[in-house]
Structure 1
């Protein structure tokens, strides 16, 4: 039997959850909390298999509860039940180790299914959440890729480096200071994960920005 602890500051909703989930023979509801501090206290005392928690609660949010339990009682599976299909909340819950994120507009049947899956060692994200999560992960991946690509100005510096120009020549050609050239050089090295001028030249050649015959 799976033991459940519920945390939500809306008493009417919580009563409805208790009534619905108590009818499932596989679940045993061991407690209920109306704020974040109480949720943590009960979770650490009762050690339920699953904590089903709202995000917006007094004293501590559901995400703060998640962080505390992830550190102090990692065996407790935390599931977020929220009305917020918010990218920031979802990504934070994922990073915090939540085993599920279910929207409050799902059917009671879907919630039961989600809890069964999580109790069995899986994870569950309702359809709307999955779409938002995928969008957030794509944005994060694109940002990481952008962070590894030289800016237009860094490309100008890189091309001149690959053509054998020294810092003073690059500064004169681009009408910038030698110190700025050195800064661009260091940033590009960091982005590309190279430690030498040869590495910069190789990258420029691979990108087709300069001919191999022009390398110093």
Structure 2
């Protein structure tokens, strides 16, 4: 009989009942190799056990889940992180993806959605719950195929840079692209971080150098 590989998962949540509930749901399909209750323990356990995925509460003690996620993506790039949060808002989701998360779920999600999200992320794809603001979905799509580390600019990022370089405000760019100013700001600062640009002026200089915008 062939033994089918079961992806290995670590659960990080400081609420014991929630952590045990997650474990009970997931261990029928996956190997839950550890349950931890703070961010530092999560990082230590990830380094020791090298799981396939970590299901992480955004607001862990000692080191919050978002900071832990960013650290994990730096030291263990093969480990995928799914953030679960009581704050089902676009800002939290955007921050999670910026820090390298592969998925974001509110704690009000159903068991079925949790299982689906884990399967999708295990395959290397991104997942954001439809319960989170639609605007976040636009942000998440920009990360499809991304490792969370510097790489070529996406089409949307180029659009944002071009419009900003043309002198438009974030609000005006948002209206042109049918997104909110928060989304525009997220793309702008993501690009600046990727390209190591320190100011808006340097961003404009980059756009001109790359012939993204022409001035008469």
Structure 1 residue corresponding to 2:116, chosen from 113, 116, 120: 113
Structure 2 residue corresponding to 1:193, chosen from 208, 212, 215: 208
CA radius of gyration, larger in: 1
Q: How has the CA–CA distance of structure 1 residues 130 and 114 changed in structure 2, closer, same or farther, with 3 Å as cutoff?
A: farther
Q: Measure how far apart 1:103 and its partner are.
A: 1.3
Say whether 1:15 aligns with 2:30. no
Structure 2 residue corresponding to 1:76, chosen from 71, 74, 79: 79
Q: Measure how far apart 1:145 and its partner are.
A: 4.8
1:33-48 map, 5 Å: 33-48=36-51
Consecutive unaligned residues in structure 2, runs of 5 or more: 1-5, 143-155, 169-200
| 2:68 aligned residue | 65
Tell me if the contact between 2:161 and 2:207 (Cα under 8 Å) persists in the aligned partners.
Answer: no
Deviation string, structure 1 residues 69-98 (Cα, Å, up to 9, x no partner): 111111111111112123332222212221
| 2:8 aligned residue | 3
Deviation string, structure 1 residues 170-215 (Cα, Å, up to 9, x no partner): xxxxxxxxxxxxxxxx99x848617xxxxx9x734xxxxxxxxxxx
Deviation string, structure 1 residues 5-36 (Cα, Å, up to 9, x no partner): 000111111111112222x2x30100011110
Q: Measure how far apart 1:144 and its partner are.
A: 3.8
Q: How has the CA–CA distance of structure 1 residues 135 and 116 changed in structure 2, closer, same or farther, with 3 Å as cutoff?
A: closer
| 2:167 aligned residue | 150
Deviation string, structure 1 residues 132-154 (Cα, Å, up to 9, x no partner): 31466899888645521237xxx
Matched residue count: 163
| 1:203 aligned residue | 215
Query: What SS does structure 1 have at the residue aligned with 2:69?
Result: helix
Once residues 135 and 125 of structure 2 are traced to their aligned partners in structure 1, the CA distance between those partners, rounded to angstroms, is: 20
Q: Measure how far apart 1:58 and its partner are.
A: 0.6
Structure 2 residue corresponding to 1:123, chosen from 107, 123, 126: 126
| 2:91 aligned residue | 88
Say whether 1:97 aligns with 2:114. no
Q: How has the CA–CA distance of structure 1 residues 7 and 38 changed in structure 2, closer, same or farther, with 3 Å as cutoff?
A: same
Query: What SS does structure 2 have at the residue aligned with 1:4?
Result: strand
Once residues 206 and 48 of structure 2 are traced to their aligned partners in structure 1, the CA distance between those partners, rounded to angstroms, is: 48
Consecutive unaligned residues in structure 1, runs of 5 or more: 152-185, 195-199, 205-216
Q: Normalization by structure 2: what TM-score? A: 0.65
